[in-house]
Amino acid sequence: MSATETELGLIDAYWRAANYLSAGQIYLMANPLLREPLRPGHIKPRLLGHWGTSPGLNLCYVHLNRVIRDRDLDMIYVMGPGHGGPSAVANAWLEGTYSEVYPEVPQDAAGMGRLFRQFSFPGGVPSHVAPETPGSIHEGGELGYSLAHAYGAAFDNPGLVVACIVGDGEAETGPLATSWHSTKFVDPVHDGAVLPILALNGYKIANPAVLARIPEDELRALFEGCGYAPVIVSGDDPARVHREMAAALDGALDEIARIQHAAREEGATGRPRWPMIILRTPKGWTGPKEVDGLPVEGTWRAHQVPLARVREDPEHLAQLEAWLRSYRPEELFDQDGRPAAALRGLAPAGDRRMSANPHANGGRLLRPLDLPGFRAHAVRVDKYGTTTAEATRVLGGYLRDVVSANPENFRIMGPDETLSNRLGAVFEVTDRVFAGERLGTDEHQAASGRVMEVLSEHLCQGWLEGYLLTGRHGLFNTYEAFTHIVDAMFNQHAKWLKVSRGLPWRAPVASLNYLLSSHVWRQDHNGFTHQDPGFIDVVMNKKPEVVRVYLPPDANTLLSVADHCLRSRDYVNVVVAGKQPAPVWLPMDEAVRHCVRGIGIWEWASTDGGADPDVVLACAGDVPTLETLAAADLLRRLLPDLRVRVVNVVDLMRLLPPGEHPHGMPDAEYASLFTPDKPVIFAFHGYPYLVHRLAYRRPGHDNLHVRGYKEEGTTTTPFDMVMLNDLDRYHLVMDVIDRVPGLGGRVGHIRQRMADTRLRLRAYTREHGEDAPEVRDWVWPY
Contacts (CB under 8 A) with its own copies, residues 735-774:
762, 765-766, 768-770
Does position 438 interact with its own copies (CB under 8 A)? The reply is: yes
Three-state secondary structure string covering 32-79: CCCCCCCCHHHECCCCCCCCCCHHHHHHHHHHHHHHHHHHCCEEEEEE
Map the footprint of its own copies across residues 476-515, applying CB under 8 A: 481-482, 484-485, 487-488, 491-492, 495, 498-499
Q: Which of 70, 100, 108, 121 binds its own copies (CB under 8 A)?
A: 121
Concatenate the DSSP letters of all residues of 697-733 into one string: TSTTGGGEEEE---S---S--HHHHHHHTT-SHHHHH
Residue 503 exposed, middle or buried by CB count within 10 Å (0-12, 13-18, 19+) = middle
Map the footprint of its own copies across residues 124-153, applying CB under 8 A: 124-128, 130, 139-144
End-to-end CA distance of the chain: 79
259 close to 274: Cβ distance less than 8 angstroms:
yes
Supply the minimum distance, in Å, between the C-beta of residue 201 and its own copies. Answer: 12
Give the binding-site size for its own copies (rule: CB under 8 A).
125
**Smaller CB separation from its own copies, 157 or 183:** 183
- The upper half-sphere exposure of residue 552, i.e. CA atoms within 13 Å in the direction of its Cβ, equals 38
**Smaller CB separation from its own copies, 96 or 227:** 227
Map the footprint of its own copies across residues 279-318, applying CB under 8 A: 295, 298-300
Cα–chain-centroid distance for residue 762?
42
Task: Look at residue 193 and give its three-state secondary structure.
Answer: strand
Map the footprint of its own copies across residues 697-716, applying CB under 8 A: 701, 711, 714-716
- State how far the Cα of 691 lies from the Cα of 696, in Å rounded to an integer: 8
With contacts defined by CB under 8 A, name the span among 9-17, 205-213, 362-370, 603-611 that binds its own copies. 205-213
Supply the minimum distance, in Å, between the C-beta of residue 193 and its own copies. Answer: 19
User: Which residue type is seen at 176?
Assistant: L
Supply the minimum distance, in Å, between the C-beta of residue 243 and its own copies. Answer: 26
User: Which residue type is seen at 760?
Assistant: R
Does position 419 interact with its own copies (CB under 8 A)? The reply is: yes
Q: Which of 13, 150, 177, 245 binds its own copies (CB under 8 A)?
A: 177
Does position 390 interact with its own copies (CB under 8 A)? The reply is: no
- State how far the Cα of 131 lies from the Cα of 570, in Å rounded to an integer: 13
475 close to 104: Cβ distance less than 8 angstroms:
no
**Smaller CB separation from its own copies, 7 or 416:** 416
Q: Which of 37, 72, 210, 236 binds its own copies (CB under 8 A)?
A: 210
**Smaller CB separation from its own copies, 208 or 666:** 208
Q: Which of 434, 550, 670, 674 binds its own copies (CB under 8 A)?
A: 434
- State how far the Cα of 749 lies from the Cα of 463, in Å rounded to an integer: 58
**Smaller CB separation from its own copies, 348 or 688:** 688
Does position 696 interact with its own copies (CB under 8 A)? The reply is: yes
**Smaller CB separation from its own copies, 302 or 642:** 302
With contacts defined by CB under 8 A, name the span among 70-78, 200-208, 365-373, 552-560 that binds its own copies. 200-208
Tell me how many degrees the CA angle 327-333-335 measures, rounded to the nearest 5.
135
**Smaller CB separation from its own copies, 65 or 448:** 448
Q: Which of 69, 71, 114, 220 binds its own copies (CB under 8 A)?
A: 220
- State how far the Cα of 512 lies from the Cα of 509, in Å rounded to an integer: 9
Strand (E) positions, 247-400? 274-280, 290-291, 294-295, 387-390
Supply the minimum distance, in Å, between the C-beta of residue 391 and its own copies. Answer: 20
Map the footprint of its own copies across residues 597-626, applying CB under 8 A: none
**Smaller CB separation from its own copies, 488 or 671:** 488
Q: Which of 543, 567, 746, 760 binds its own copies (CB under 8 A)?
A: 543
Does position 227 interact with its own copies (CB under 8 A)? The reply is: yes
**Smaller CB separation from its own copies, 147 or 736:** 147
Supply the minimum distance, in Å, between the C-beta of residue 557 and its own copies. Answer: 26
Q: Which of 36, 293, 382, 439 binds its own copies (CB under 8 A)?
A: 439
**Smaller CB separation from its own copies, 542 or 753:** 542
> Which conformational region is residue 328 in: left (phi greater than 0), alpha (psi within -120 to 50 degrees), or beta?
left
Map the footprint of its own copies across residues 35-94, applying CB under 8 A: 44-46, 48, 83
**Smaller CB separation from its own copies, 246 or 423:** 423
Map the footprint of its own copies across residues 645-684, applying CB under 8 A: none
**Smaller CB separation from its own copies, 111 or 534:** 534
Say which residues have a Cβ less than 8 Å from residue 542's Cβ, sequence separation at least 6.
490, 491, 494, 495, 498, 572
**Smaller CB separation from its own copies, 318 or 419:** 419
Residue 254 exposed, middle or buried by CB count within 10 Å (0-12, 13-18, 19+) = middle
Closest alpha carbon to 137 in 514, 457, 497: 497
Q: Which of 417, 570, 608, 622 binds its own copies (CB under 8 A)?
A: 417
107 close to 333: Cβ distance less than 8 angstroms:
no
Supply the minimum distance, in Å, between the C-beta of residue 166 and its own copies. Answer: 12
Closest alpha carbon to 356 in 75, 153, 129: 75
Does position 225 interact with its own copies (CB under 8 A)? The reply is: yes
With contacts defined by CB under 8 A, name the span among 99-107, 249-257, 438-446, 636-644 that binds its own copies. 438-446
- State how far the Cα of 365 lies from the Cα of 358, in Å rounded to an integer: 7
Map the footprint of its own copies across residues 315-374, applying CB under 8 A: none
In the 8-state DSSP scheme, what is residue 185?
A: G
**Smaller CB separation from its own copies, 95 or 187:** 187
Does position 416 interact with its own copies (CB under 8 A)? The reply is: yes
Supply the minimum distance, in Å, between the C-beta of residue 696 and its own copies. Answer: 4
Three-state secondary structure string covering 95-125: CCHHHHHCCCCCCCHHHHHHHHHHECCCCCE
Q: Which of 56, 169, 372, 397 binds its own copies (CB under 8 A)?
A: 169
- State how far the Cα of 241 lies from the Cα of 126, in Å rounded to an integer: 31
The 10 Å Cβ neighbour count of residue 585 is 27
Buried b (16+ CB within 10 A) or exposed e, 34-64: beeebeeebbbeebebbbbbbbbbbbbbbbb
632 close to 779: Cβ distance less than 8 angstroms:
no
**Smaller CB separation from its own copies, 85 or 397:** 85
- State how far the Cα of 44 lies from the Cα of 52, in Å rounded to an integer: 19
Supply the minimum distance, in Å, between the C-beta of residue 1 and its own copies. Answer: 31
Q: Which of 239, 342, 349, 455 binds its own copies (CB under 8 A)?
A: 455
